[in-house]
Structure 1
Amino acid sequence: MSRLGKTEKTIFTVAVIALLLFSYFLYDDSLLFPKNGNSQMDLIGSVATSQNDVRRKNLDTFSWLPANREDQIFDNDSIYTGERSEAQIRLQDGTVIRISPNSLITLNMKNGQMMLDLRYGNLVGDINKGTALKIKSGEKEFNLDGSGKIEFKKSHSGNVDLRLLSGNLNYQDKKERKILEKSQPVAVSQQGMKPLVKPTVELLTANNSVFVRENPDEAMAFAWRGQGNIAHFEMEVSPTANFDHVAVLKDTKEGKTDVVEPLEPGPYFWRVKAYDKNGTVGFSEVRQMTLAHLDVPVITTPVSDARFQMEVETDDPALLSISTEVRWTAGPLLKTYHWQVSRDEQFTAIVKEGNSAMQNILTPRLASGTYWVRVSGSTIDKKNSAWSASVPFTVQVTAKKEPVPERPELIAKDIKFRLPRPEERRPASEMAPKLEWKPVSKTRGYRVQVSKDLSFQAPQTYDVPDTATMWSQVEKGQHYYRVYAISPKGQLSPPSDIGNIAVEDMRPILTVPQLMEPFNNMSIFLQTQQEPFIWLEWKKVAGATGYTVEVSNTEDFSKILYTSTLQNNRFLIKSKIPLGKIYWRVRAEAQGDTPSDWANKREFTVYHQKNETFVK
């Protein structure tokens, strides 16, 4: 960009000066229209005091000028006061008019009498004795006379309120003349002058009420009663008593409202303003209230996904269960609590629920599985909090395994025993082998097994309470035995070492007779069944004094047809016998001694001459 030439610089400078000059004229036209050179209007007073933003304007000017102390006031001048600003105007007759903040007034002389045209705002006037003052409100005019101090208040609705502060004053419009009472303000409107009856508000919601919110936007109900020609109400909630900060403002035509706006917990102040149709406002008293949020309980025990494992000494599956403690914290507003234990997170399968005045409970006995627990609280006035977060936990209960008893230790592992003769007299303790072992702790008894073979396939079994027993069913030959310890719940210990039992018989042992006739599986044909004459014969046995023979038509000899004990080694069947298979056996006998074992049985089949047979 090329530099400006001398001519351009001159033009630019003049333009800036002109712009600044016209800007100043827009702000202050006193140079164009001098303050004190107003020869068109009569002087009616001056500015006694001016504080902050006070302005005045003549009819001849277009702008508002600062109104300073001692500035002259002319007929039809207007005075304006801004926020937190005041001014005092002293009239020629000594009357002083105090103009409150946020006011606008026009002063003019009419027929030699001062007329105040209060556009809006507040005025306080000191009227001297013998002075008459005319007040204008829109098209309505009225006169004041006497001496005293009076307050004027005019809202944007157009009404003017008069209040006598001191002295004695009369007011008069075209219809009537009355004395202005100090105790009774007057409202001036287009309809005339009437005693000022401000709307009143009686608060119905109690002072120091405590509102407990279960949710941040839960409604808080406020109620009041208004009197007067009320157009609407304004309800204000503020954290400060002077309401310099209004947190909630509700406009309503009813004597109640619900506050749903979110507010922080704590103390608040509230009041209600009632507005009548003329814009007159009446204030209620200021009351306090407290807002509290109803916090949900917080479960501290058990922690999430906790596992409770325990072994229970029981054999009953129904008793495999335990209880667990649940603890939580809660705010001071909650006084009682409701708890639930469920098998599912949605709490559709509730196992148990109950109420508690304490911040802990003991659950019912719970079987193994996963559960969820939650808690809600209630205030004194039955307000319920939301449910706490559900906390899952697992219970694992098992039956306590009883310790396995130690294996018994045999005192004698090799036992030899001689069977006594029948004629021998011995103590009962010597009539059978004695089996002994060392005691084992924590047992209810012992189990003894005696077997003919080391595999113990089909043992004789005895449960005994002591550490010794007599083997009463003694049999000659080689036998084996072992011992188990039995726990109080019936659990067996490992078996002891295997002991030997050798049983000897010192008496002569008779051999088994050898059967001779008839041959085994022989067929016999009879002419008659009355006297069959069938001989049974066997070899003699050394040392035998006799023989016992048994004849049966059943293989197990459960049904005996004939039995006989004889000295010879032959037996004749000569009585009637049934047709079919016949079984027979023999054993040797010796006086005062044990008989021999039975010989292996033989069988034969009997047929009749008519070829009739009986077969089992």
Structure 2
Amino acid sequence: MSRFGQTEKIIFVCAIVALLAFSYFLYDDSLLFPKANNGKLELIGDVAISQNDVRRKNLDTFSWVPASRKDSVYQNDSIFTGDRSEATIQLQDGTQIKIQPNSLITLNLKNGQMNLDLRYGNLVGELAQGSSLTIKSGTEEFKLESQQGSPEKSKIQFNKAHSGNVDLKLLSGDVKYVDKKKQAVKELPKNAVVAVTKKGEVKQVEKPQLFLKTADNTNWLRINPDDPLPFEWDSKGDVARFELEISPTEDFSHVAISKLTQDKKAQVVEPLEPGSYFWRLKAMDHNGQLATTSPVQHMQITHLVGPQITTPTQAAQINLELKVKPQESLETSTEIQWRAQESLKNFTWQVASDAEFTTIVKEGQTNTLAAVTPKLPAGTYWVRVQGQTESQKPSPWSEPVSFTLNLFAHKEERPSRPILVTKKVDFKVPTGKDRNPASPESPKLAWKPVLQTKNYILQISKDASFKEVEKYDVTQNQVSWSQYRPGQYFYRVYARGLNGLMSEPSETGTIDINMDGLTLDPMKTINAIGQAPGPKETPISWSEVPFAKSYLVQMDKDKNFTHPQQLEYSSNAGTLTVPDPGRYHVRVQAMDESNKPLTGFSNIEEVLYTFRTPLSSPSLLEPFNNASIFLQTEMEPFIWLEWKKVEGATSYRIEISDKADFSRTLIAKSLQGNRYLIKDRVPLGKIYWRVRAESKGDAEMSEWTEKREFTLYHQKNETFVK
């Protein structure tokens, strides 16, 4: 390769110089586009703080220039801030404007007042006392005035998105504005966001709120990894969109899934490993700012996997020698066992003659973790199991397991069918009243032993067809069935030989589980006194019933219980609320786990609810108040005191005193009637008396009547009557 010549070197050097020159022009174009003649512009302030990318441009110039600290700001200057950049403009009247990142504003001084055109972005304005600031929103102008003598500086936060609305928030101080729509001067509310529309209308912005509808601690069960997880919520206020976040950590240091939506619901279909997760919802306002975040909620994800067959093992060879009659073929049953998740409650099993399960030999259902195949001839078979949850969601099929039956004749006999010792078993459930150490705790099932037997299989079912059975492996020829429930059951027994052959089932026996009814305890009468009748509570209890999940109490005024009020109790005691006075009939019934009657209704007890108003004070009749009574003889006085009868009163209490405060009582009597004759000697002068009504049945008494007085005179003017 030849070296550069003299001409080439000159061209190369010139190109480098031109490249450097144009690069500088890209950074500073002041040489191409000179700055405006600032001497002709009106000075309105300077740049107090400039951080990172801050640029300034006058309306009369073409290009943007960097805005450094202490640079002057002139009429019609525009200030721009980039990412992570801030600037503070100090106006000549002392007002400060702090411009946030990604903002663009234009400053204009009009009639001695600052007009601020916020194109977009965020800023904070700090108004000097007595100064004003005009904000341009659309074609309208919005004037803010700081109050003279305010104890703190007026600081306002501005925000404007590309939608055109300007949001204001008074952070401190006192600021007034003119509401053009209502033609009134108002104060800007503190720490509350208001929006100024393009038409100049002022509206207070409602603080966003989030309401989560999806419950906390939800357990999501996924059959497929992409099964949708539905989330739902509601909101109030200025919310433009939502962000749903799911994280394996409560502090959301790692966010596994984030979804943005404008709807009030979302479905997550992304795969997540089974385990514990946390989720929350964020709300963004129309400016794209984070408005609020919901509380963190917990959730659990579980993948529904198919059962795993444990018996037979993969490609198992089952070799059996069977003793059969000449007309019989070589066939045998085998047992299938598997393990599964706890959420799987019911199972469907299939036996097929091919690995693709196009030809199914047998299909069955069970709620246990095992099944017995029908009799199968020698050959190779495949078996698989599928589970279902309580809500009928199916799991995937298990991995198919193959097994081969190698059957040989005349070597071993199948065990004899067991013979039941007792075909009909009657059992009475022991209760607290009749329980004693000698009574059996559970029904006993027994059968005669079978020779050459490894163990027995006991089946118990609610129906004689044994479609749904409880299955027990038993090594002895008897068992106590401790898992019993009231009702009638059917049972049968298989014998399993030493090499796994199953016998024919025994005859079907029955188990009758009986239970005594429950007894309702006597109930107390309710006697109520007041101004108006209302609901009253009274204790209620009854005998406890084993296996009872709850108790149903019926209450009705009709002894035939035509329209009973029904109440549910979780224990055998509680409080019964009687709605209004009357005679009620009450009975109780025990319920099982399925909310079905476990017993009949108990005995019927009555509860009586009586009500009456409180006793009123009697009305005094004679003698009239302030009466004067002259005694003409020296004998004891005979003066009648009388008052009106009071409804509900059984007696009356009268007190007579020569003291106005009844601190000393001359006579105190309890009377059946409403009159009293004074026959005892009493002092001359003023005598005071009062009465109250009493009821012996409930020890109730009325208030005392207002006291009355009369004056005794005697012609001898002695202190006591002789």
Name the counterpart of 2:337. 326
Correspondence for 1:285 among 290, 294, 297: 294
Where do residues 259-338 of structure 1 align in structure 2 (5 Å cutoff)? 259-265=268-274, 267-271=277-281, 273=283, 283=292, 285-288=294-297, 289-312=299-322, 315=325, 317=328, 320-328=331-339, 330=340, 334-338=343-347
CA–CA distance in structure 2, aligned partners of residues 252 and 350 of structure 1: 54
**Which letter maps to 2:320?**
M
Q: Give how far 1:378 is off.
A: 3.9
Q: Which moved more, 1:19-28 or 1:363-372?
A: 363-372
Q: Give how far 1:200 is off.
A: 4.3
Tell me if 1:181 matches 2:189: yes
Q: 1:99 to 1:327 in 2, by over 3 A?
A: same
Q: Give how far 1:375 is off.
A: 2.3
Q: 1:383 to 1:10 in 2, by over 3 A?
A: same
**Per-residue Cα deviation, 1:40-93 (whole angstroms, up to 9, x for no partner):** 433323333333333333334444333333333333222222233333222222
**Which letter maps to 1:224?**
W
Name the counterpart of 1:163. 169
Q: Give how far 1:122 is off.
A: 1.4
Q: Give how far 1:283 is off.
A: 4.4
**Which letter maps to 2:245?**
V
Where do residues 547-558 of structure 1 align in structure 2 (5 Å cutoff)? none
TM-score normalised per structure 2:
0.49
**Which letter maps to 1:346?**
F
- Residues 274 and 281, structure 1, Cα contact 8 Å, conserved in 2: yes
- Residues 58 and 78, structure 2, Cα contact 8 Å, conserved in 1: yes
Correspondence for 2:348 among 319, 323, 339: 339
What secondary structure sits across from 1:39 in the alignment? helix
Where do residues 530-549 of structure 1 align in structure 2 (5 Å cutoff)? none
What secondary structure sits across from 2:83 in the alignment? coil
**Which letter maps to 1:10?**
I
- Residues 160 and 166, structure 2, Cα contact 8 Å, conserved in 1: yes
Q: 1:347 to 1:402 in 2, by over 3 A?
A: closer
CA–CA distance in structure 2, aligned partners of residues 5 and 195 of structure 1: 76
- Residues 313 and 400, structure 1, Cα contact 8 Å, conserved in 2: yes
Q: Compute the RMSD of aligned alpha carbons.
A: 3.5
Correspondence for 1:222 among 210, 214, 231: 231
Name the counterpart of 1:82. 82
**Per-residue Cα deviation, 1:70-124 (whole angstroms, up to 9, x for no partner):** 3333332222222333332222222222222222222221222112211111111
Q: Give how far 1:157 is off.
A: 0.5
- Residues 199 and 227, structure 1, Cα contact 8 Å, conserved in 2: yes
CA–CA distance in structure 2, aligned partners of residues 85 and 61 of structure 1: 23
CA–CA distance in structure 2, aligned partners of residues 300 and 35 of structure 1: 87
Tell me if 1:249 matches 2:254: no
What secondary structure sits across from 1:130 in the alignment? coil
CA–CA distance in structure 1, aligned partners of residues 221 and 86 of structure 2: 45
**Which letter maps to 2:312?**
P
**Per-residue Cα deviation, 1:506-555 (whole angstroms, up to 9, x for no partner):** xxxxxxxxxxxxxxxxxxxxxxxxxxxxxxxxxxxxxxxxxxxxxxxxxx
CA–CA distance in structure 2, aligned partners of residues 67 and 217 of structure 1: 53
Q: Give how far 1:290 is off.
A: 4.1
Q: 1:152 to 1:249 in 2, by over 3 A?
A: same
- Residues 320 and 399, structure 1, Cα contact 8 Å, conserved in 2: no
Q: Which moved more, 1:20-29 or 1:379-388?
A: 379-388
**Which letter maps to 1:341?**
Q
Q: 1:356 to 1:280 in 2, by over 3 A?
A: same
Q: 1:380 to 1:167 in 2, by over 3 A?
A: farther
Q: Give how far 1:298 is off.
A: 3.5
CA–CA distance in structure 1, aligned partners of residues 41 and 386 of structure 2: 81
Q: 1:60 to 1:262 in 2, by over 3 A?
A: farther
CA–CA distance in structure 2, aligned partners of residues 30 and 189 of structure 1: 38
- Residues 280 and 293, structure 2, Cα contact 8 Å, conserved in 1: no
Q: Higher relative contact order at CA 8 Å, sep ≥6: structure 1 or structure 2?
A: 1
Name the counterpart of 1:106. 106
Q: 1:122 to 1:402 in 2, by over 3 A?
A: closer
CA–CA distance in structure 2, aligned partners of residues 242 and 84 of structure 1: 24
Q: 1:28 to 1:294 in 2, by over 3 A?
A: farther
Tell me if 1:22 matches 2:29: no
CA–CA distance in structure 1, aligned partners of residues 266 and 254 of structure 2: 22
- Residues 171 and 191, structure 2, Cα contact 8 Å, conserved in 1: no
Q: Give how far 1:287 is off.
A: 4.2
Correspondence for 1:386 among 396, 401, 426: 396
Q: 1:2 to 1:38 in 2, by over 3 A?
A: farther
- Residues 199 and 280, structure 1, Cα contact 8 Å, conserved in 2: no
**Per-residue Cα deviation, 1:9-47 (whole angstroms, up to 9, x for no partner):** 334323321332123112212445677963243332333
- Residues 237 and 248, structure 1, Cα contact 8 Å, conserved in 2: yes
Q: 1:260 to 1:346 in 2, by over 3 A?
A: same
**Per-residue Cα deviation, 1:243-287 (whole angstroms, up to 9, x for no partner):** 99683435355x3343334445552524264766x9898545154
Give the structure with higher Rg (CA): 1
Name the counterpart of 1:152. 158
Structure 2: segments with no counterpart, 5+ residues? 147-152, 414-722
- Residues 58 and 77, structure 1, Cα contact 8 Å, conserved in 2: yes
Name the counterpart of 1:355. 366
Structure 1: segments with no counterpart, 5+ residues? 404-616
Q: Which moved more, 1:266-275 or 1:369-378?
A: 266-275
- Residues 47 and 88, structure 2, Cα contact 8 Å, conserved in 1: yes
- Residues 52 and 85, structure 1, Cα contact 8 Å, conserved in 2: yes
Q: 1:104 to 1:177 in 2, by over 3 A?
A: same
Identity over aligned residues, as a percent? 47
CA–CA distance in structure 2, aligned partners of residues 395 and 319 of structure 1: 10
**Which letter maps to 2:158?**
F
**Per-residue Cα deviation, 1:378-435 (whole angstroms, up to 9, x for no partner):** 44655332222222222233334379xxxxxxxxxxxxxxxxxxxxxxxxxxxxxxxx
